[in-house]
Amino acid sequence: MAVHLAQEQPASKEVMLYAEDVTKTFMSNKKEITALDRVHLTIHQEEFVSLLGPSGCGKSTFLRLVAGLDAKTRGTLTLNGVPIEGAGRDRGVVFQQYSLLPWMHAWENVAFALKKTKGLTAAQKKEMAYHFLELVGLRGFEKHYPAQMSGGMQQRVAIARALVYRPKMLLMDEPFGALDAQTRRDMQDLLMRIWAEEKCSVLFVTHDVDEAIYLSDRVYVMSAHPGRVAKEMTIDMHKPRDWNDMLSDRFVHYKREIVSELERQKSLHKQALQA
């Protein structure tokens, strides 16, 4: 079964995120360290793309560059053709840590993201918060405090908070990494439903091969030390997907291809250290 390596999306889908030769360096003990080296990738409108790789490969660093939380050292990084030069409300970010305000109800945590939004009354902000909490399956929990909710429920609040101002792109940095296996599967299915409804582009960082294949339209496999794109793969499977798809020959084929590439990169890194 052939694996299609993606070079371009159909012309009908415009480029949302464009990265060319993106490099990020920093100083450590008076020595320059290259975290990312000449990364090139694209994400199109309404496309779900995963960055997959081992710890230390720079995938979270790249997400922070896209979020505008850090600055690149060199290269081109644009969103809708406009250079990224800081954080903006055209991007919503969800991290592994929920970072909810413990003294606020769930709806207040979501509405807090609208604090600087002009032209909305307090009632409208509350209505929007309630809407997005319902979207993530938390109807009836609007007035619960974070301490009264499970980890999965708190992450749902964090996702609602990131979506409430309707960003064009959702950035997710291993958002389900701290959850148990069953909750993680439920959250992945929830994310697929939200993505289909909100129709935003998604950049999803993970080290889980199954998760990347299950969720994504395309996967970029990263190598480490320094972080580079080692392989780009189109996941040519129907959507929406369900867990039966994980048992299919096609899914297993993609998994074999990706794991083989990760093992190849590990071997190359070991050889470099021994040289």
Q: Which of 134, 166, 198 is the last residue of a domain?
A: 166
Contacts of 15 (CB under 8 A, 6+ apart): 42, 43, 44, 45
- Which residue, chain included where needed, has tokens 């993530």? 136
With beta carbons less than 8 A apart as the criterion, state whether 96 and 173 touch: yes
Q: Which domain holds residue 118?
A: 98-166
Tokens encoding 209: 């091969």
Q: How many CA atoms lie within 13 A of 65 on its CB side?
A: 25
Picking from 110, 131, 166, the residue at the C-terminal end of a domain is 166
Same domain, 84 and 201: yes
pLDDT (0 to 100) of residue 11: 46
Same domain? For 43 and 160 the reply is no
Looking at the 3D structure of the chain, how many domains does it have?
Answer: 2
Instruction: For the chain, state the CA radius of gyration.
Output: 19
Do residues 110 and 129 share a domain?
Answer: yes
Same domain, 4 and 38: yes
Closest to 3 (Cα-Cα) out of 230, 235, 265: 235
Q: Do residues 60 and 193 share a domain?
A: yes
For the purposes of burial, counting CB atoms within 10 Å of the CB of 35, is it exposed (0-12), middle (13-18) or buried (19 or more)?
buried
Residues of the chain with pLDDT under 70: 1-12
Q: Do both 73 and 107 map to the same domain?
A: no
For residue 33, give both structure tokens: 């360290």
Q: How many CB atoms lie within 10 A of CB 27?
A: 8
**pLDDT for the residue numbered 3:** 40
The pLDDT score that the predictor gives to residue 12 is 56
Residue 185 and residue 150 share a domain: no
pTM above 0.85, yes or no: yes
Q: Are residues 145 and 21 in the same domain?
A: no
- CA dihedral in degrees (80, 159, 46, 178; nearest 10)? 110
How far is 193 from 148, CA to CA, in rounded Å? 25
Together in a domain, 81 and 9: yes
123 and 22 in a single domain? The answer is no
Q: What is the CATH number of the domain that holds 234?
A: 3.40.50.300
Closest CA to 196 of 134, 131, 240: 240
Through-space distance between the first and last CA atoms of the chain, rounded to whole angstroms: 37
Same domain, 72 and 118: no
Is the peptide bond preceding residue 10 cis, with omega within 30 degrees of 0?
no
Count other Cβ atoms within 10 Å, centred on residue 181: 8
Q: Report DSSP letters for the chain, one per residue.
A: -PPPPPS---TTS-EEEEEEEEEEEEEETTEEEEEEEEEEEEEETT-EEEEE--TTSSHHHHHHHHHTSS--SEEEEEETTEE--S--TTEEEE-SS----TTS-HHHHHHHTTTT-TT--HHHHHHHHHHHHHHTT-TT-TT--GGGS-HHHHHHHHHHHHHTT--SEEEEESTTTTS-HHHHHHHHHHHHHHHHHH--EEEEEES-HHHHHHH-SEEEEEETTTBEEEEEEE----SS--GGGGGSHHHHHHHHHHHHHHHHHHHHHHHHHH-
107 and 65 within one domain? no
Residue after which a domain boundary falls, among 150, 166, 182: 166
pLDDT at 6: 39
